[in-house]
C-alpha cells in the first residue's frame, strides 16, 4: 500500500513526489490521488511545462508524470506545490518499468509520450522508448478506448514509431489533430519557434 495522502488543502513537494511502497506490485490510483477522476500519464515529463499546465487546466482529472532525472523531478514537484496542485504526482522511475509493473491494468484514460530521446545512431536505437514491449505494456494499462498520444520532431524516429505500431496488436491508429487547448511542452514551443514540423499520431486501445 502507498503512503497515506495528506489531508492538508495543499501538498508539499514531498507529497507530490510519489514513491511507491513496493516496486513489484501494481498500485491502486485511489491510494495516491485524493479524488476519483480520469487518470492521464505523461511518460518522460521533462521540466513539466505540459503536465503542470494540464493539471491546472483540468482539476477534476488526475495526472501521473514520470521522469528519470532527479533534478527535473524536484523542479516539477516544487512547481506543482507552488501552484497548489493536488491532482498531480511525479514518479522517478523508468517508463517501461512503470507501465509493465507499477500502473494498474485497464485504469488509465490517456497516455502521452512527447519528444522522447531519438537515439539517432543505429547502435543506440534499441534504447528508444517506443518499442513493441513498451506499446504492449502501455496498452494493458489503458481503459478500453483509451489513447496513447505520440509526438516527436524527429522524422526518422517517427518513421520508426510507425513501423513499431504496424507490428503491434490491439491498437487502432488514427490521426492526432492539433488541439489549440492543449499546452505545449518546452521542446515543442522551441521547435515551433524555429519553424520545425511536429510529427504526431494517436493510438486507441481496441
178 located within any domain = yes
DSSP state at residue 131: -
pLDDT at position 4 over 50? no
Span 83-92, pLDDT tens digits: 999 999 999 9
What's residue 184's pLDDT? 86
- Average pLDDT over the chain, rounded to an integer: 93
Q: Is the pLDDT of residue 104 over 50?
A: yes
Catalytic residue selected from 14, 15, 42, 117:
117
Task: Choose the weakest-confidence range: 14-28, 100-114, 172-186.
Answer: 172-186
To which H or E segment does residue 12 belong?
none
Tell me if 3 sits within 8 A of 60, measured CB to CB: no
Q: Is the pLDDT of residue 181 over 80?
A: no
Q: Is residue 1 part of a domain?
A: no
The position carrying cell 506499446 is 135
Over residues 181-188, mean pLDDT: 86
Q: For residue 176, what are the domain limits?
A: 13-205
- Domain total for the chain? 1
Residues 6 or more apart whose Cβ sits within 8 Å of residue 72: 45, 46, 47, 48
| Separation of alpha carbons 202 and 148, rounded Å | 6
The verdict on whether 15 is a catalytic residue reads no
Q: What is the 3-state secondary structure (H, E, C) of 68-94?
A: CCHHHHHHHHHHHHHCCCCCEEEECCC
Residue 142 domain-assigned (yes or no): yes
Please check whether residue 5 lies inside any domain of the structure. Answer: no
Provide the pLDDT confidence category of residue 8 given band limits of 50, 70 and 90: low
Report yes or no on 129 lying in a domain: yes
d(CA 48, CA 42): 9
Q: What is the dihedral of CA 37, 181, 88, 23, to 10 degrees?
A: 80
Length of the chain measured in residues: 206
- Mean pLDDT (whole number) for 18-23: 94
Position 12 confidence tier, pLDDT thresholds 50, 70, 90? very high
CATH number of the CATH domain containing 157: 3.40.50.150
Residue 4 lies in a domain: no
In order, the DSSP letters of 94-127 are -HHHIIIIISPTT-EEEEEEES-----SGGGGGG
Residue 3 counted as domain residue: no
Beta strands 142-152 and 199-205 are: antiparallel
Phi, psi of 8 (to 5 degrees): -65, 155
The dihedral over CA atoms of 133, 136, 139, 141, expressed in degrees to the nearest 10, equals -60
Q: Domain for residue 7, yes or no? A: no
Lowest mean pLDDT among 89-93, 108-112, 149-153, 176-180: 176-180
Chain segment 45-62, per-residue pLDDT in tens: 999 999 999 999 999 999
Tell me the mean pLDDT in the region 128-151. 98
Amino acid at each position: 500500500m502507498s503512503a497515506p495522502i495528506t489531508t492538508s488543502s495543499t501538498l508539499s513537494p514531498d507529497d507530490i513526489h510519489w514513491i511507491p511502497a513496493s516496486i513489484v506490485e501494481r498500485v491502486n490510483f485511489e491510494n495516491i490521488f485524493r479524488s476519483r477522476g480520469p487518470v492521464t500519464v505523461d511518460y518522460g515529463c521533462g521540466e513539466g511545462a505540459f503536465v503542470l499546465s494540464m493539471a491546472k487546466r483540468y482539476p477534476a482529472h488526475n495526472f501521473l508524470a514520470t521522469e528519470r532525472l532527479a533534478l527535473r523531478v524536484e523542479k516539477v514537484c516544487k512547481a506543482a506545490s507552488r501552484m497548489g496542485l493536488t491532482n498531480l504526482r511525479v514518479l522517478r522511475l523508468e517508463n517501461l518499468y512503470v507501465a509493465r509493473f507499477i500502473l494498474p491494468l485497464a485504469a488509465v484514460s490517456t497516455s502521452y509520450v512527447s519528444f522522447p530521446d531519438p537515439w539517432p545512431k543505429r547502435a543506440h536505437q534499441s534504447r528508444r522508448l517506443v518499442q513493441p514491449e513498451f506499446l504492449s505494456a502501455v496498452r494493458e494499462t489503458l481503459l478500453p478506448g483509451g489513447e496513447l498520444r505520440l509526438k516527436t520532431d524527429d522524422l526518422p524516429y517517427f518513421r520508426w514509431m510507425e513501423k513499431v505500431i504496424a507490428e503491434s496488436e490491439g491498437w487502432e491508429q488514427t490521426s492526432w489533430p492539433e488541439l489549440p487547448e492543449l499546452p505545449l511542452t518546452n521542446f515543442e514551443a522551441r521547435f515551433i519557434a524555429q519553424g520545425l514540423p511536429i510529427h504526431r499520431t494517436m493510438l486507441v486501445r481496441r
